[in-house]
Structure 1
Amino acid sequence: MSMLLKQRPVHVIGIGMHAYQFPTETPYVELGLTAVREALHDAGIGWPQVQSAFVGTAALGMAAGRVMLRHLGSTGLEVAQVENASASGSTAFRLACLQVASGERDVVLAVGVDKFGDGRRAVLKDGLPPLSPTANVPLVKFALLARRCMRERGLRLEDLAQVAVKNHGNAALNPFAQFRKPRTLDQVLASPRIAGDLTGMQCCPRGEGAAAAIVVSDDAMRRLGLDRSRAVRVLSSVASSEELAQDAPALVELVRKSAAAALESASVGARDLDIVELHDAFSIEELLYSEAVGVCDEGEGAAYLARGASRIGGECAVNPSGGLIGMGHPLGPTGVGQVAEIVRQLRGEAQGRQHPGARLGLAHMIGLGSVAIAHVLARG
């Protein structure tokens, strides 16, 4: 895809959100259309100008996209539904970019929407007896990984908790976040332990919400007279799945390789990044993935956070939205929400949480299975 993106540039021209929230009786259609309408308004286009739509969702069931979008009008557009666990929205965005980069379409919508579902995963239906009742529970896996890092790397409980302090603080400044209260270190450490050393405030909430992004070609921007000054270019998009790893946890290696591939494709270095939105469903992940992405050296994740380098206004703002821990993780919308946050930051429109001079961002998401989707975006 990297050659396509160089030959036929793809730009994010419109973004929209419905705030992430705990489960309500609100129909998913209302959640999703709130985000889509906001993205259309932000882009300055009408619904009939959208030629294709990719709908990322993990828990809604069949045909959710068409059922939702027909309320905007039956225009005959192409609609495809995408399920890729936590990476559903990221995958929908990637497919939207690919369709524009290929020249097949000029104006494409990527929207993620979800409500809290039954959580039934395919791994529970594979016909194989599990190694233990918790063998396929992400929380348990990351609690074990946290304990391993504490034993082998000397990480402390406070190092893990500081991730949550930062991200709850960022989320408190984000009107779309599920959690809107800053938290102290003592509060994070005192919250109930969920598994191992991970307390409740170090784990992401589930809920509901929606996020939308509209991507266009140069031709569409000229034809429709769109405001190029607010367009954010997609420099690269990479998708992969985990491999067997000998010396490091497989997920950490998956992040390392996929982020490196996305950065290489974009012809930028990790230390050039101003914004990183990454999968921090559990606090240990941000420490390890900051290193894997390359914004800091291996083994430096906790120190990088402690000296303020990953805070808004630091060297590279990691999860300025609040991340999954603070902003929330409704699954389908999460990856598109990352893109929306980066676009706001690169435009200089992230009021109250703006990272100064942001020009380059990485959105990186993991989905159960495990898969990784990474996008590099640039201002101007």
Structure 2
Amino acid sequence: MTSRGLRSLRPVHVVGVGLHPYRSPSDAAYPALGVHAVRAALADAGLSWPDVQTAYTGTATTVMALSRLMYRHLGVTGIPMVQVENASASGSSAFRQACIDVASGLHDVAIAVGVDKPLHIRFPHPVAGVRDLTGDRVVPFTHFALLANRYLHESKSDVAQLGLVAVKNSRNGALNPFAQRRRALTLDEVLAPPAISGVLTRLQCCPVGEGAAAAIVASDAAIERLGLDQARSVRVLSSTARSETVYPGQDPDAALTRETAEQAFLEAGVVPADLDVVELHDAFTVEELLYLEAMGISPDGEAAHRLAEGEFDIGGRVAVSPSGGLLSMGHPVGPTGVGQICEITRQLRGEAGERQQPDATLGLAHMVGVGEVCVIHILEAP
């Protein structure tokens, strides 16, 4: 069986992006968050709501059927709207569906919106009839603490190098007005108690709050017809999604990321060394190191050492999580993947301000989700 990549269809471009700041939970209603992000994306693109022909909403922790109650504040235009739930990859999956709509020719302008408030965070196993053999002994942070111990042992790295992931990302997040954690941290602060599990301290785990992000994609025909700025239109080279298979003795998230990345690079016609900017799923510090190696951005066992040498800093060989990543920008779940697209787009336009990676022309956004699923997008500068 063969599959066709996005590049085999008509070109898709990101023409507008917008964010509502990520933050701790508040009393604000979710439509206020989402509409704020959509209006920002419309203004960024130079579009009005009636120009948008279809909408996908990524959400995982709020409520069902939230799309209509949010979009009605923008105008009742009768467009198709679909809610997308794919755990942490919900926003990435919504963006992928918007890209597919435009690439296939079904629509010329589509929007992907991520919005969430942490109201209902539950895992599917109890209602799936899957017997839980560990109970509450191996919750997500314990799972990643075990992976951290294994990584430190196999790569001959130390706890301080692991903490440098949070130090780097906090430095980036301090420059991001949309980030939930906006303070640069020292290594001593990152490594200070309390320990959440194993070697993972509180500041090595991402905050889960609320927020929203929006990205508008359009075809070449729409860009010309609507008079949009081609010089700010970022091309989506590939949109790749996979689910796990069987990985004996391997971390399934890293193995799945490796497979998805290989397919994404093949579809985009690029190699890992071509990347200038990467936004990835760093809910826990060790994940950044594991996924950089899985995607081929770092040789196996060397990511911690290369991080310590500054290769992944803004201004380094490749800027990794210049937004601050999940660790500092935050992880409101539904918006996270779309927020990554917003950051990559700004970087490739040269509009990221103090976070700007010089001469950025190629960027990658990566998210995994409980399930296990993985979604990767590769974007190219105008």
Q: Bin the TM-score by the shorter chain.
A: over 0.9
Q: Mapping of 1:5-154 within 5 angstroms?
A: 5-134=7-136, 137-154=139-156
For 2:76, what is the secondary structure of its paired residue?
Answer: coil
Q: Report the counterpart of residue 235 of structure 2 in structure 1.
A: 233
- Letter matched to residue 314 of structure 1: G
Q: Report the Cα distance in structure 2 between the residues aligned to 1:228 and 1:96, rounded to whole angstroms.
A: 19
Unaligned runs of 5+ in 1: none
Aligned residue runs from structure 1 range 223-302, under 5 A: 223-302=225-304
Partner of 1:163: 165
- Which range moved further: 41-50 or 112-121? 112-121
In the alignment, residue 212 of structure 2 is paired with which amino acid? A
Secondary structure in 2 aligned to 1:62? coil
Return 134-143 or 204-213, whichever deviates more.
134-143
Q: By how many angstroms is 1:136 displaced?
A: 6.0
Match for residue 312 of structure 1 among 306, 311, 314 = 314
Question: Which whole-Å CA distance do the structure 2 matches of 1:223 and 1:233 have between them?
Answer: 18
Residue in structure 1 matched with residue 335 of structure 2 by the alignment: 333
Letter in 1 for 2:91: G
Q: Give the 5 Å matches for 1:180-195.
A: 180-195=182-197
| Cα offset, 1:4, TM superposition | 4.5
Residue range with higher mean Cα deviation, 247-256 or 296-305: 247-256
Task: Report how many residues are paired.
Answer: 380
User: Percent same amino acid at aligned positions?
Assistant: 56
Structure 1 Cα separation of the partners of residues 223 and 138 of structure 2: 46
Q: Is the 8 A contact 1:2 1:266 kept in 2?
A: no
Give 1:248 deviation, angstroms: 2.7
Amino acid at match of 1:71: H
Give deviations 1:256-278, integer Å, cap 9, x for gaps.
11111111100000000000100
CA distance in 1, matches of 2:54, 2:136: 40
Cα drift, residue 251 of structure 1:
1.3
Aligned-pair CA distance for 1:62: 1.5
Q: How far has the Cα of 1:246 moved from its partner?
A: 3.0
Structure 1's consecutive aligned runs of 4 or more residues displaced over 6 angstroms after TM superposition are none
Give yes or no for contact 1:39–1:213 (8 Å, CA) kept in 2: yes
SS at 2:131's partner residue?
coil
* Distance change >3 Å, CA 138–CA 93, structure 1 → 2: same
Distance 1:302 1:3, change over 3 A: closer
- Which amino acid counterpart does residue 120 of structure 1 have in structure 2? R
Give the secondary-structure state (helix, strand or coil) at the position aligned to 2:115: strand
CA deviation digits over 1:85-135, x for unaligned, max 9? Answer: 000000000000000000000000000000012311212322233111236
Once residues 4 and 59 of structure 1 are traced to their aligned partners in structure 2, the CA distance between those partners, rounded to angstroms, is 29
Cα separation, partners in 2 of 1:246 and 1:64, compared to 1, 3 Å: same
How many Å apart are 1:372 and its aligned residue? 0.1
Cα shift at 1:352: 1.0
What code does the residue aligned with 1:24 have?
S
Shift of 1:247: 4.9
Letter of the 1:205 counterpart: P
Q: TM-score scaled by structure 1? A: 0.98
Q: CA offsets, 1:4-26, max 9 Å, x none?
A: 53441000000000000000001
Indicate conservation of the 8 Å contact 1:255/1:289, yes or no: yes
Moved more, 262-271 or 133-142: 133-142
> Conserved in 1, the CA contact under 8 Å of 2:125 and 2:131?
no
Give the distance between the partners of 1:133 and 1:155, measured in 2 at CA: 31
Deviation per CA, 1:210-259: give whole Å up to 9, x if none.
Answer: 00000000010011011000000000000001121135322111111111
CA distance in 1, matches of 2:340, 2:109: 20
Residue in 2 that maps onto 1:178: 180
Aligned to 1:97, what secondary structure does the other structure show? helix
Using the alignment, how far apart are the partners of 1:230 and 1:135 within structure 2?
49
What is the RMSD computed on CA atoms of the aligned residues? Answer: 1.2
Separation in structure 2 between the aligned mates of residue 206 and residue 8 of structure 1, nearest angstrom: 37
Q: 2: distance between equivalents of 1:353 and 1:242? A: 34
Structure 2 distance, partners of 1:117, 1:263, is 36
Deviation (angstroms), 1:3: 4.5
